[in-house]
Chains A and B, each alone.
Chain A
Amino acid sequence: MESTAGTFKENAKQALADAKLRDALAKLSDGFPVKRRDAAARLPEFDDLCDQAKAIKEHVLENLGFYLEAFEARVTEAGGTVHWCRSAAEARTTILRICKQAGAKTVTKSKSMISEEIAINEHLETHDVEPVETDLGEYIIQLRHEPPSHIIAPAIHLTKDQIADTFREKHSHLDAARNLEEPETLLEEARGELRRKFIAADVGLTGANMLVAETGSIVLVTNEGNADLTYSLPKTHIAIASLEKIVPTLEDATTILRVLARSATGQDMSVYTTFCTGPKRAQDLDGPEDFHVVLLDNGRTKMLGTEFHDMLRCIRCGACLNHCPIYKAVGGHAYGWVYSGPMGAVLIPNLIGLDEAHHLPNASTLCGKCEEVCPMRIPLPRMLRSWRKKQFEQEKTSFVSRTALKAWAALARRPWLYRLAVAAPIAVLALLGREKGRFRWLPLGGGWTSLRDMPAPEGGTFISRWHKERQP
């Protein structure tokens, strides 16, 4: 998809002024984070499982080449085909080729962030193949021609009224006077529309939450069951996954599954977890005759061994988004590309470059909540700081902020100079503010005082008072 990450500041301003978005996002704080906390509390082994999940992915990344080859061998053995793709363009070409070979007119899709990353829908459309998103949230945003705003809840930015308006506009063959007030009726309508598409589809395109090297299986996790209808009804099943999705064994996949849903939606286990291995067997009554795995690099191998290596452990649970004060204020679209929140702010510059995404690492208060809730223990704040450091080194920050930072560094490295520099302003502020005890306005401090008062210092710096208190 086309990036608008370059205008993050403007995007964020617009988002903050959007009352409907605020209503939609307000529901986030009481939803996923509370459920996640309860689910983790219900399982005494949760922290140990997270440690192990982390260790599994660390081991995989150290042996990635071996596991990729093992996975490919098992897929082939089971009668499937693995397609290696270096770039989004290669993946698009490969998927279109498979669709054309299958004579496909319609492709049903279950939610896949990688498919967003390679913008497959636009590509299929321009070549006369109709892609149909089947996850309810994805279906809604496809009708609205919007990208997802959350990795696990793609339509979280919308209220039910907005969804009703969209359905009324796009499902124009239905009775215009129908009642669409309740979420239940919206679901029923979408279910009916999609049921026909499921049955008619020639190819099913899914993502994969994991790839199991031991068996050549792909793992699909959904709550709706849409992935299962996507792979079991058409003749051809294509699964697209980035190469770091590998895990060694079924047991390792199981460990990660135990932390995935708990971290994501606060469920102990998602409703449907499916392990697909090869095409249907000869005697099976249903299932796809062809099975393809599109294995995508698109920048991942370049992250190996760098300060962003740990990001490749991410299992896309969305916990960091759900707990991020910035995400909860501006929503996902402001980030301007496929991913969002803290994981997006780290990943996007890796995938589309720091020039375009230079604002994103700064869209964080570095409060640390994302790292605290990450089941894979990814040090997101450290990586955000790495990007900031790179920005400074590559002179991508503004002249003002660079000069200010240099001045700050000069002071901070010389304590005597620092004390001298702060003592005088503090004495002045204490004197000026001694009556009210606060300032409603300060020169150069408008960013702070436009929303709140600045408390006046009570006199003396901390260090001078410390020395005074310690005098006998």
Chain B
Amino acid sequence: MSDARTDILAAVKAATPGTDDEARQRLADHRAGVIPARGRLGDKARVDLFIREAERVNATVARASSMAGVPREVARFLAKNNLPMNLKIAPDISGKTIPWTEQTLLSVEEGRADGSETAGVSRAFAGVAETGTLVLLSGPGNPTTLSFLPPTHVVVVAASEIAGDYEQIWGRLRAENADEESEAGARFMPRNVNWITGPSRTADIEQTLLLGAHGPQRLHIVIVDE
């Protein structure tokens, strides 16, 4: 018996007419398709659209004038929702970038989540105005579990990182990790690229919309304007 890989590829190639050249070119070009016009806006309108779309999918949004203002916004959000003042934060936004200790009510720990946390804080790579989507990259400074285990997820994103459409984010990712790009293909991808559009939800029981199925029930976005 020949092996499965050989068999499958032989069957596929016998049935398909394509010449590899066209496909190889397509991978190299990674050309964008139709990009909806709605994200094509000036800076202010683009951030406004992002906020509108994020709120439409049940996220809450606050703005801070600088990174230094983030702890105050987060503390305000937790107090308003009567939530514990404990945070598990991504190493990327540790005390070096954000002065958490200035908010004395907040108790802040760094690291990945293990399920015991009440709120996680992540740093987004980007926002997408088109659908109010956050883009998060996994890495030593940004553990994925922070986005999914705690019932409250706070995400910090800079206004300047909010793009109109997803394609711009792929472009940025390719460019910023270009030195890691191998000749053959793509090493610019981290283990996980997470697009997050609102808090977790399900409609599996009689099509009734419920928030907080397995992931967080609350998604709070802090946009930093500096």
Once the chains are docked, how many angstroms separate the CA of A163 from the CA of B207? 13
Contact residues of A between 77 and 126, Cβ < 8 Å to B: 77-78, 84-86, 90
Q: Contacts A44-B37, A195-B214 known; list 9 others, CB within 8 Å.
A: A24-B206, A44-B36, A62-B17, A224-B215, A251-B32, A251-B167, A255-B34, A272-B195, A285-B111
Assuming A45-B34, A77-B185, A225-B215, is B15 touching A269 (CB within 8 A)?
A: no
Q: Does B122 contact A (CB under 8 A)?
A: no
Q: Kindly list chain A residues whose C-beta atoms are within 8 Å of the C-beta of B30.
A: 214, 248-251
Q: Is the CB of A84 within 8 A of B4?
A: yes
Q: Is the CB of B20 within 8 A of A84?
A: no
Q: Kindly list chain B residues whose C-beta atoms are within 8 Å of the C-beta of A283.
A: 139-140
**Which listed residue, A61, A63, A137, touches B204 by the CB 8 Å rule?**
A137
**Which listed residue, B11, B17, B144, B197, touches A271 by the CB 8 Å rule?**
B197
Interface with B: A150-158, A170-178, A434-442, which one? A150-158
Task: Enumerate 16 A-B pairs (CB-CB under 8 Å) in ascending A order.
Answer: A45-B35, A74-B186, A160-B205, A183-B208, A232-B192, A249-B27, A249-B30, A251-B167, A257-B166, A268-B53, A268-B131, A271-B57, A274-B193, A280-B191, A283-B139, A286-B138
Q: Is the CB of B12 within 8 A of A70?
A: no
User: Within the complex, what minimum Cβ distance (angstroms) separates B136 from chain A?
Assistant: 10
User: Within the complex, what minimum Cβ distance (angstroms) separates A244 from chain B?
Assistant: 10
Q: Does A281 contact B (CB under 8 A)?
A: yes
Q: Is the CB of A223 within 8 A of B7?
A: no
Once the chains are docked, how many angstroms separate the CA of A198 from the CA of B113? 13
Q: Kindly list chain A residues whose C-beta atoms are within 8 Å of the C-beta of B42.
A: none
Q: Is the CB of A272 within 8 A of B215?
A: yes
Q: Which residue of A lies closest to B133 (CB)?
A: A269
Q: Which residue of B lies closest to A31 (CB)?
A: B207
Q: Does A213 contact B (CB under 8 A)?
A: yes
Q: Is the CB of B191 within 8 A of A276?
A: yes
Q: Is the CB of A301 within 8 A of B187?
A: no
User: Within the complex, what minimum Cβ distance (angstroms) separates A48 from chain B?
Assistant: 5
Q: Is the CB of B192 within 8 A of A274?
A: yes
Q: Does B152 contact A (CB under 8 A)?
A: no
Once the chains are docked, how many angstroms separate the CA of A102 from the CA of B196? 30
Once the chains are docked, how many angstroms separate the CA of A48 from the CA of B53? 22
Q: Is the CB of B112 within 8 A of A285?
A: yes
Once the chains are docked, how many angstroms separate the CA of A217 from the CA of B194? 12
Q: Is the CB of B23 within 8 A of A67?
A: yes
Q: Does B103 contact A (CB under 8 A)?
A: no
Q: Is the CB of A286 within 8 A of B112?
A: yes
Q: Does B201 contact A (CB under 8 A)?
A: yes
Q: Kindly list chain A residues whose C-beta atoms are within 8 Å of the C-beta of B20.
A: 63, 66
Q: Does A426 contact B (CB under 8 A)?
A: no
Q: Which residue of B lies closest to A90 (CB)?
A: B4
Q: Is the CB of A228 within 8 A of B148?
A: yes
Q: Is the CB of B145 within 8 A of A233?
A: yes
B-side residues, CB < 8 A to A, are: 3-5, 7-9, 11-13, 15-20, 22-24, 26-27, 30-38, 53, 57, 91, 111-115, 130-131, 133, 138-140, 143-145, 147-149, 166-167, 170, 182, 184-208, 210, 212-216
Q: Is the CB of B204 within 8 A of A275?
A: no
**Which listed residue, A224, A269, A297, touches B213 by the CB 8 Å rule?**
A224
Q: Does A278 contact B (CB under 8 A)?
A: yes
User: Within the complex, what minimum Cβ distance (angstroms) separates B52 from chain A?
Assistant: 12
**Which listed residue, B8, B143, B193, touches A275 by the CB 8 Å rule?**
B193
**Which listed residue, A56, A86, A215, touches B189 by the CB 8 Å rule?**
A215
Bits for A199-223, please: 1 = Cβ < 8 Å to B, else 0: 1000000000000011111000001
Q: Is the CB of A271 within 8 A of B191?
A: no
Q: Is the CB of A223 within 8 A of B200?
A: yes
Q: Does A325 contact B (CB under 8 A)?
A: no
Q: Is the CB of A252 within 8 A of B53?
A: no
Q: Kindly list chain A residues whose C-beta atoms are within 8 Å of the C-beta of B138.
A: 280-281, 284, 286-287
Q: Is the CB of A286 within 8 A of B202?
A: no
Q: Is the CB of B205 within 8 A of A155?
A: yes
Q: Is the CB of A225 within 8 A of B206?
A: no
Q: Is the CB of A160 within 8 A of B206?
A: yes
Q: Which of B53, B192, B198 has the most CB of A within 10 A?
A: B192
User: Within the complex, what minimum Cβ distance (angstroms) separates A224 from chain B?
Assistant: 4
Contact residues of A between 133 and 147, Cβ < 8 Å to B: 134-137, 140
Once the chains are docked, how many angstroms separate the CA of A29 from the CA of B20? 45
Q: Is the CB of B200 within 8 A of A277?
A: no
Once the chains are docked, how many angstroms separate the CA of A48 from the CA of B36? 10
Q: Which residue of B lies closest to A188 (CB)?
A: B212
Q: Is the CB of A84 within 8 A of B16?
A: no
Once the chains are docked, how many angstroms separate the CA of A154 from the CA of B203? 11
User: Within the complex, what minimum Cβ distance (angstroms) separates A123 from chain B?
Assistant: 18
Q: Is the CB of B189 within 8 A of A272?
A: no
Q: Is the CB of A63 within 8 A of B147?
A: no
User: Within the complex, what minimum Cβ distance (angstroms) separates A371 from chain B?
Assistant: 21
Q: Does A279 contact B (CB under 8 A)?
A: yes
**Which listed residue, A63, A216, A224, A273, touches B201 by the CB 8 Å rule?**
A224
**Which listed residue, A73, A255, A274, touches B185 by the CB 8 Å rule?**
A73
Contact residues of A between 341 and 396, Cβ < 8 Å to B: none
Once the chains are docked, how many angstroms separate the CA of A62 from the CA of B12? 9
Q: Which residue of B lies closest to A141 (CB)?
A: B204
Q: Kindly list chain A residues whose C-beta atoms are within 8 Å of the C-beta of B112.
A: 285-286
Q: Is the CB of B191 within 8 A of A279?
A: yes
